[in-house]
């Protein structure tokens, strides 16, 4: 009993320490200067995309110089991140040394140089024993170079002795060892906390959304396999991130991987790539050779209005409000929450021209709307009807700042916007809660495998009511067998039993009266025992004022 209590207290203490690190990270001096409420997504350059493991001291210094000379530092790109390839060997005490030929003067000299330019320095390791480079890039020095068994020793070296400010922690070695992601990254985080550095930015690189725990340990986490400099890869990563907006925020971000701008994509594809990374608040790490970057790519990377969208003080990730195949409309609040200004992207990822017709209500805007095209940096015609109509070329995007006369209440909340505390994209369990395509559902998506325990719920944290009052809530669900759904509105429980839609993909509805308070409301759905129905969306109709 006492032992168990001690364990609980200890876990509590460790969690507090980890959270303390991340909250310290929330308020660095630099962030205060920037005037942001949360640390914005990281901006900088990383060596991997162009050079893989073939890096060296001179190359890194040249790229850092070029970052400054090209005006990218002034545009906000302040990290120079050394990826895989710097590993030398461990000496008799287990201490890692830099690659003797590539970094003959060691790594501290390199981080000092980066710092001398007013930049921050990033480094790389693996949660397991062997690095990815040792497996896929014939880098023998990567064997045994990972953090496994050297957590504290390596973190002390990288973050204290070598003084790096960012670390990306890959998973190749850990995957081969069959380790558990949450346990591994938690152990590594403890080692980071022990260094006493509270300003280090941590990136989890597990190539899929790892789970909601990641937010307690890292500033950002990769959500996809490695990016490549081609359209198919960019499009696939965007699709991977479409339904992960609930997990970003408060200074923590879904990482869509390093940028392939300046590496051969068509101009309009570069706009989609950069524009979506910006509206989705992904870290922006340039991946090309900065000494020979094409002019058009450079000016896109320096586009002030798109950068402002990425670095917006609210730190939100856009979510999908309209989707049909490869055409999607993304939206997020900027500048002020639930204000009259929103960022909207009309993305045409298909191979032919597409006409978007999007009701203003889907964007929660009404009245006359001022529109600014952020890629072109010019004002477009005001919207004066209740639909916005735009024609977007194939592999093209229109990203706008919209300022409306009035903000409306949402009348539909999609299941694919919900926060699912038990969700991850690691595909380890067969019936894991997830966002699943479903042809009859609005937006073509639903939440599947909801319920079975109290913890496995779906949550909409910000259901907005301007004045509060009585509403009719209509839940759209799919249920092949009779199932129970529990619904909590600001903690008040409702239950609907015997729900049956007749098939996996056929949609039925149920309507219940609910009371919302003015401002943000919390709505949860689940089933503490058996499966709940799959959820498509819910709609709200206001019946009366409070
Ligand atoms: C993995 C990562 C890449 C890169 C390489 C280095 O593939 O996902 O981003 O860091 O390892 O070997």
> What is the widest separation between alpha-carbon atoms in the chain?
75
Q: Closest ligand 1 atom, CA of 135?
A: 12
The CATH architecture assigned to 319-407 reads Sandwich (2.60)
Q: Which CATH code, of 1.25.40.10, 2.40.50.140, 3.40.50.2300, 2.60.120.260, is assigned to 412-545?
A: 2.60.120.260
Q: Quick check: CB of 42 below 6 Å from ligand 1?
A: no
- What dihedral do alpha carbons 20, 22, 28, 30 form, nearest 10°? 180
pLDDT score of 545: 62
- What dihedral do alpha carbons 57, 60, 49, 314 form, nearest 10°? 140
What pLDDT, in 10s, does the model give residues 362-398? 999 999 999 999 999 999 999 999 999 999 999 999 9
* Shortest-distance Cα residue to atom 6 of ligand 1: 84
Q: How far is the CA of 88 from the centre of ligand 1 (A)?
A: 18
**23 pLDDT exceeds 60?**
no
Query: Whole-model pTM above 0.85?
Result: yes
* Of 220, 201, 203, 93, residue with least CA distance to 157: 93
Give dist(CA 180, CA 147) in Å, integer: 14
Q: Closest ligand 1 atom, CA of 137?
A: 12
More confident residue, 14 or 284: 284
Phi, psi of 422 (to 5 degrees): -95, 5
Q: Closest ligand 1 atom, CA of 83?
A: 10
Give dist(CA 270, CA 104) in Å, integer: 37
Give dist(CA 522, CA 493) in Å, integer: 12
What pLDDT, in 10s, does the model give residues 67-110? 999 999 999 999 999 999 999 999 999 999 999 999 999 999 99
Q: Quick check: CB of 173 below 6 Å from ligand 1?
A: no
Judge contact between 332 and 279, C-beta under 8 A. yes
**32 pLDDT exceeds 80?**
no
Mutation choice for ligand 1 from 46, 83, 135, 168, CB with most ligand atoms inside 8 A:
83
Give dist(CA 145, CA 190) in Å, integer: 19
**216 pLDDT exceeds 70?**
yes
Q: In the structure, what pLDDT confidence band is assigned to residue 207 with cuts at 50, 70 and 90?
A: very high
What pLDDT, in 10s, does the model give residues 443-482? 999 999 999 999 999 999 999 999 999 999 999 999 999 9
pLDDT score of 543: 94
**526 pLDDT exceeds 90?**
yes
Average pLDDT, stretch 40-45?
Answer: 98
Q: Quick check: CB of 84 below 6 Å from ligand 1?
A: yes
Q: Give me the catalytic one of 226, 373, 411, 505.
A: 226
Give dist(CA 470, CA 491) in Å, integer: 16
* Of 263, 258, 320, residue with least CA distance to 297: 263
Domain-wise residue ranges, the chain? 319-407, 412-545
Exposure string over 157-192, b if 16+ CB within 10 A, otherwise e? bbbeebbbbbbbbbbbbbbeeebebbebbbebbbbb
Give dist(CA 216, CA 540) in Å, integer: 33
Q: How far is the CA of 200 from the centre of ligand 1 (A)?
A: 20
pLDDT score of 546: 56
Report in angstroms the alpha-carbon separations of 404 from 283, 307, 322, 370: 29, 22, 19, 6
* Shortest-distance Cα residue to atom 1 of ligand 1: 132
Angle CA(539)–CA(506)–CA(324) in degrees, nearest 5? Answer: 65
Q: In the structure, what pLDDT confidence band is assigned to residue 544 with cuts at 50, 70 and 90?
A: confident
- The packing angle between helices 231-241 and 267-279, to 10°, is 20
Q: How far is the CA of 226 from the centre of ligand 1 (A)?
A: 7
Average pLDDT, stretch 267-287?
Answer: 98
**Beta pairing class for 492-499 and 483-489:** antiparallel
* Shortest-distance Cα residue to atom 8 of ligand 1: 226
Q: Is 199 exposed, middle or buried (0-12, 13-18, 19+ CB in 10 A)?
A: middle
Q: Closest ligand 1 atom, CA of 133?
A: 12
Judge contact between 136 and 124, C-beta under 8 A. no
Give dist(CA 478, CA 43) in Å, integer: 42
> Which segment of 21-35, 217-231, 374-388, 461-475 scores lowest on mean pLDDT?
21-35
Q: Quick check: CB of 205 below 6 Å from ligand 1?
A: yes
What pLDDT, in 10s, does the model give residues 124-163? 999 999 999 999 999 999 999 999 999 999 999 999 999 9
Q: How far is the CA of 227 from the centre of ligand 1 (A)?
A: 10
* Of 179, 212, 205, residue with least CA distance to 424: 212
Write down the number of H helices and E strands in the chain: 15, 28
Structure tokens at 242: 């479409």
Q: How far is the CA of 189 from the centre of ligand 1 (A)?
A: 20
Is there a catalytic annotation at residue 170? yes
Q: Quick check: CB of 204 below 6 Å from ligand 1?
A: no
* Of 355, 341, 343, residue with least CA distance to 317: 343
Q: Is 69 left (phi over 0), alpha (psi -120 to 50) or beta?
A: alpha
Q: How far is the CA of 125 from the centre of ligand 1 (A)?
A: 10
What pLDDT, in 10s, does the model give residues 179-192? 999 999 999 999 99
Q: In the structure, what pLDDT confidence band is assigned to residue 26 with cuts at 50, 70 and 90?
A: very low
Give dist(CA 12, CA 306) in Å, integer: 41
pLDDT score of 420: 98
Q: Give me the catalytic one of 84, 129, 170, 333.
A: 170
Q: Quick check: CB of 132 below 6 Å from ligand 1?
A: yes
* Shortest-distance Cα residue to atom 5 of ligand 1: 132
**115 pLDDT exceeds 90?**
yes
Q: How far is the CA of 168 from the centre of ligand 1 (A)?
A: 9
Judge contact between 386 and 361, C-beta under 8 A. yes
Q: Quick check: CB of 135 below 6 Å from ligand 1?
A: no
Q: In the structure, what pLDDT confidence band is assigned to residue 329 with cuts at 50, 70 and 90?
A: very high
Mutation choice for ligand 1 from 54, 136, 226, CB with most ligand atoms inside 8 A:
226
pLDDT score of 1: 33
Q: Quick check: CB of 122 below 6 Å from ligand 1?
A: no
Q: Quick check: CB of 534 below 6 Å from ligand 1?
A: no
Cross-strand bridge partners of residue 515? 470
């Amino acid at each position: 009993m006492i032992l168990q209590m001690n364990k609980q207290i200890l876990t509590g203490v460790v969690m507090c320490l980890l959270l303390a690190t991340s909250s310290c990270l929330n308020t660095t001096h630099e962030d205060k200067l920037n005037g942001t409420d949360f640390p914005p997504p990281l901006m900088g350059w990383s060596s991997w995309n162009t050079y893989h493991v073939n890096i060296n001291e001179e190359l890194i210094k040249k790229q850092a110089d070029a970052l400054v000379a090209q005006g990218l530092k002034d545009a906000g790109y302040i990290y120079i991140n050394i990826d895989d390839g710097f590993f030398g060997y461990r000496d008799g005490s287990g201490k890692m040394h830099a690659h003797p030929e590539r970094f003959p003067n060691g790594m501290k000299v390199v981080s000092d140089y980066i710092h001398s330019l007013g930049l921050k320095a990033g480094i790389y390791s693996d949660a397991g024993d062997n690095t990815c480079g040792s497996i896929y890039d014939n880098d023998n020095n990567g064997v045994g170079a990972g953090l496994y068994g050297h957590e504290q020793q390596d973190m002390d070296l990288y973050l204290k002795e070598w003084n790096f400010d960012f670390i990306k922690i890959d998973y190749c070695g850990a995957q081969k060892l069959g380790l558990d992601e949450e346990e591994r990254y938690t152990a590594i985080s403890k080692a980071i906390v022990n260094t006493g550095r509270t300003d280090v930015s941590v990136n989890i690189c597990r190539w899929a959304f790892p789970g909601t725990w990641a937010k307690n340990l890292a500033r950002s986490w990769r959500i996809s396999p490695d990016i490549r400099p081609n359209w198919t890869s960019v499009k696939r990563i965007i699709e991977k991130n479409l339904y992960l907006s609930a997990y970003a925020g408060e200074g923590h971000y879904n990482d869509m991987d390093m940028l392939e701008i300046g590496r051969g994509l068509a101009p309009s594809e570069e706009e989609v790539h950069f524009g979506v990374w910006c509206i989705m608040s992904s870290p922006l790490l340039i991946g090309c050779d900065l000494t020979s970057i094409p002019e058009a790519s450079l000016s896109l990377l320096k586009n002030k209005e798109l950068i402002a969208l990425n670095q917006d003080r609210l730190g939100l990730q856009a979510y999908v409000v309209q989707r049909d195949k490869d055409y999607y409309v993304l939206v997020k609040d900027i500048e002020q929450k639930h204000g009259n200004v929103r960022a909207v992207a009309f993305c045409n990822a298909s191979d032919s021209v597409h006409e978007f017709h999007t009701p203003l209500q889907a964007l929660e805007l009404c009245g006359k709307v001022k529109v600014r095209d952020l890629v072109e940096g010019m004002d477009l015609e005001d919207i004066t009807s209740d639909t916005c109509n735009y024609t977007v070329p194939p592999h093209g995007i229109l990203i706008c700042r919209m300022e409306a006369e009035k903000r409306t209440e949402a009348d539909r909340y999609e299941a694919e916007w919900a926060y699912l505390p038990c969700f991850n994209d690691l595909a380890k369990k067969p019936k894991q809660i997830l966002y699943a395509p479903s042809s009859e559902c609005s937006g073509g998506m639903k939440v599947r495998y909801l319920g079975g325990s109290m913890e496995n719920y779906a949550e909409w944290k910000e259901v907005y009511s301007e004045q509060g009052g009585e509403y009719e809530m209509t839940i759209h669900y799919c249920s092949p067998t009779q199932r129970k759904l529990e619904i909590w509105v600001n903690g008040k429980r409702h239950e609907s039993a015997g729900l049956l839609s007749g098939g996996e993909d056929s949609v039925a509805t149920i309507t219940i009266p609910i009371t919302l308070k003015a401002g943000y409301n919390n709505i949860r759905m689940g089933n503490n025992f058996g499966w709940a129905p799959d959820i498509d969306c819910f709609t709200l109709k206001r019946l009366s004022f409070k």
